[in-house]
Structure 1
Amino acid sequence: MNSETTANPTPAAAENLNTPSNTCPSTSNTQQNDSDNGEQIINWVEEASAIIKDVRTHVAEIDISKTLPSNESHIYLNIRTFEGAAYCVHVSSLGFRIVSELYDTIDSDKAEIDEEEEVFETPYALLDKISPRYVESFGNQLCKQLLQLQQMRTEFNEEDEEGLEEEDEEEDHQQNNTKTLV
């Protein structure tokens, strides 16, 4: 396997900046299998919906394939990048694998996973490889969110300073009243 290929991706916590979470097969959409092997069954429709929600602003189009079958081990996504390139992507517990450059299609040489084939741990790693404008879109979104966070912190600090000024004025007023009484 090459260096970008990974097996058994682990879920990562979503960042609190409303940036895309690390959308690899997560435990939130899983159930324990009744068999003795302890294998997890992933609800791939829910998983795909979460992936779509995370990346939809960074691609021209993304949807679950309505013609290719999904089951407890995988699902297929159709993705069109901002550059106009179309892909059909196989999503499984191994990761994200391009199976065709046509929607709803599995190329004959991609029907089975090949050791030499690139499998991406996250949709972001996949998009980073296939779409330069994804990187730009993601970077722009991150900058906007950081600016919003900075603005919120500035507003909070201003409110905090106003509260301190009011407290200081109140303390001065109380001290003046105490001096008058003495």
Structure 2
Amino acid sequence: MTDTDKQGSGTCPCDSPAEDSGPVDAAAFLLEQAEDVGKDIGSCVNAVRLSATLEASAEAVYLNIETKEKSRYCIEVCPSGFRVVGYDYDTTSVTDEPYCETIYMLLDAVSPMYRFSFASSLASKLAQLSDSAVEENADEPSKLAQVGQCS
């Protein structure tokens, strides 16, 4: 993605689909991507859902997100990335917001509480992994001694 793509022009500058895939495949891919994003960030925002009002297409689908700060956004999801297109659910009045490569970059920019929630969630998952690694290696003292050592 180029810097020009990230800056946005009011429409989604989508790449042409491959010859063997059509608009239905592209739309299905975007819907799947948006659903995966919703599952991934769901615990770090108050609400996330696909727009029931704005039509999904091969060019874009729309997510409605409410941050922990209770700010509402309509987010465009397209091959160029993610961007805010509205400051309330199901609105597309904003045309000058830049594209972000990931939803995490976008939310990090608009929601300090997302950043904190994401960091807390990540720290918790890492602690769980560390605990399970220690438990798995408890019977093997030589491996346990190596956990956490750098070479």
Give yes or no for TM over 0.5: yes
* Alpha-carbon separation, structure 2, partners of 1:62 and 1:146: 25
Normalising by structure 1, we get a TM-score of 0.63
- State the AA in 2 paired with 1:94: S
1:67-86 equivalence runs, <5 A: 67-86=53-72
Aligned residue in 2 for 1:58: 44
Aligned residue in 1 for 2:11: none
Q: 2:26 aligns with which of 41, 45, 52?
A: 41
Give the count of matched residue pairs: 130
* Alpha-carbon separation, structure 1, partners of 2:3 and 2:79: 18
* Alpha-carbon separation, structure 1, partners of 2:127 and 2:32: 31
Q: How many angstroms does 1:74 deviate by? A: 0.9
1:1-182 equivalence runs, <5 A: 5=6, 32-34=18-20, 41-43=26-28, 44-107=30-93, 109-110=94-95, 114=96, 117-161=97-141
Q: CA RMSD in A?
A: 2.8
* Alpha-carbon separation, structure 2, partners of 1:155 and 1:3: 50
Q: How many angstroms does 1:95 deviate by? A: 0.6
Question: Aligned residues: percent identity?
Answer: 35
SS in 1 for 2:26: strand
- State the AA in 1 paired with 2:26: I
SS in 2 for 1:121: coil
- State the AA in 2 paired with 1:5: K
Q: Deviation per CA, 1:60-100: give whole Å up to 9, x if none.
A: 00000000011112100000000000000111000111111
Normalising by structure 2, we get a TM-score of 0.75
* Alpha-carbon separation, structure 1, partners of 2:98 and 2:69: 21
2:66–2:73 contact (8 Å) kept in structure 1: yes
Structure 1 residues without counterparts, runs of 5 or longer: 8-30, 163-182
Structure 2 residues without counterparts, runs of 5 or longer: 9-16, 143-151
